[in-house]
Amino acid sequence: MALGSLGIRLLPISSPPNSAENPLPITSRRAIVFAPTALMASLLAFPVPTYAALPQLQDDIPQEEDRIVALFQETSPSVVYIKDLEVAKNPQNPSGEDENAKVKGTGSGFVWDKFGHIVTNYHVVSALATDNSGLQRCKVNLVDVKGNGIYKEAKIVGFDPEYDLAVLKVELEGHELKPIVFGTSRNLRVGQSCYAIGNPFGYEKTLTAGVISGLGREIPSPNGRAIRGAIQTDAAISAGNSGGPLVDSYGHVIGVNTATFTRKGTGMSSGVNFAIPIDTVIRTVPYLIVYGTPYSERF
């Protein structure tokens, strides 16, 4: 098929600039061609940063990355993966162990002290807390200070739906755990960096980063009352993150990741997420450890 029939027209090849067909005298068109050359010459007169001056600029990003990597490495051993196991009743197996046990729900938590207490959200273990049939149990994945993985059954010590908090306990049996480092939520500022660590959708020890988006928010608690003073953040918090720590740039826990708004019908996070301030947690957890569940919240 001829090129003309396709509507394609070949352009003539232009002659080189200094050929006989293009004499040397400078025309207005040639002045336009040379103008960028003059501009480049003037720009070259200014000092250009040498390679020796660049490493300091290039090091800023790696230093920030190294800081976040160190933060995660220091904090993640204190983060716990919680599994709610639904166990079929088996009279021939009084221990309750069952190979066919199904994971009913998962969540996160963090090591509170060296005695094996673990803090999480009440809604993470609410099915266990309200069930007296003995057909359910809770198990946790955690690591000791030597980095050894541990998979153990955890006992619910106490819970408080009003603040969506619960305390579990594991028997250490020679293992030493690394408690998380506490910060404070009293002096937080909107815009400062924060990081959420947890197990979203079952992916263990996941780090997400963001900033504090708002302070003094009000969110609903599992018993229908309001949790006041909540921290709002755009650090991603998804299903499975609940109960995990929200930490500041020093790796100090400033809140317990609790809730997120999702886009209707999608299940996707909208970037509006909430954490219970650690100052509220510090006031509540010691009471639960010593006295157990508040009388008004017992079922």
Residues catalogued as catalytic: 123, 164, 242
Q: Is 78 exposed, middle or buried (0-12, 13-18, 19+ CB in 10 A)?
A: buried
Backbone dihedral angles phi then psi of residue 289, each to the nearest 5 degrees: -65, -40
Task: Provide CB contacts within 8 A for 279, sequence distance 6+.
Answer: 184, 185, 186
Give CA–CA dist 298/72, Å, rounded. 37
End-to-end alpha-carbon separation of the chain, Å? Answer: 86
Give CA–CA dist 125/138, Å, rounded. 8
Pairing of strands 245-247, 206-220: unpaired
Q: Is 68 exposed, middle or buried (0-12, 13-18, 19+ CB in 10 A)?
A: middle
DSSP secondary structure, 218-262, as one string:
EEE-TTS-EEEEEEEE-S---TT-TTPEEE-TTS-EEEEEEEEEE
Estimate to the nearest angstrom the gap between the alpha carbon of 41 and the chain centroid.
50
Contact 136, 86 (CB under 8 A): yes
CA-based nearest residue to 194, from 240, 255, 243: 255
